[in-house]
Amino acid sequence: MTETAGRDPDAVSTFVEGFAAQLVEAGMQRMPARVFAALLASDSGSLTSAELSELLQVSPAAVSGAVRYLAQQHMVAREREPGSRRERYRVHGNQWYEALTNREAVIKRWEGALRQGVTSLGADTPAGRRMAETLAFFEFIDSEVAAMMERWRAHRERAFGRD
């Protein structure tokens, strides 16, 4: 495979498995973590199902399920190879930004549910106050993430240029 040309395949494999283990420890499922780490470690950032299966020594079905999960999390994209029916899976150049931005939508939905909870439970009840504090926490996180992402975009442009 050309993806590890000029590199020690054992060192690449050690990195992929080690980083995947860190992702699993943080809550990601094992196979999506391994696929994501393999894509991230590839020079092109893009591999086919067959290449991932070979690299990770797993079945194409395992790769397919992992890619489905990663695509739902906005961490990878599917691309058709020109003139072929084969798909390539590509890690986004800004995958962390995409994943975090996707989380912002989840936080907004949680805020709506929590507002409803405060109203339903009564703002003056112990449960309502707890719900209101939780809502305030997520509102704070939401505003901090938005400001942080703006700073990240400026930093990324200075450090790596525009896409």
Range of the domain at 48: 2-91
Cβ neighbourhood burial of 4 (10 Å; 0-12, 13-18, 19+): middle
Q: Identify the CA nearest to 3 among candidates 53, 57, 39.
A: 39
Give the number of other Cβ atoms within 10 Å of residue 125's Cβ: 12
Mean per-residue pLDDT of the chain: 88
The pLDDT-based confidence of 163 (bands split at 50, 70, 90) is low
Asked which of 91, 119, 140 is the last residue of a domain, the reply is: 91
Residues 69 and 104 in one domain: no
Phi and psi for 6 in degrees, rounded to 5? Answer: 80, 0
Total of domains in the chain: 2
pLDDT digits (tens, 9 = 90+) for 46-99: 999 999 999 999 999 999 999 999 998 888 988 887 787 788 999 876 767 766
pLDDT digits (tens, 9 = 90+) for 10-43: 999 999 999 999 999 999 999 999 999 999 999 9
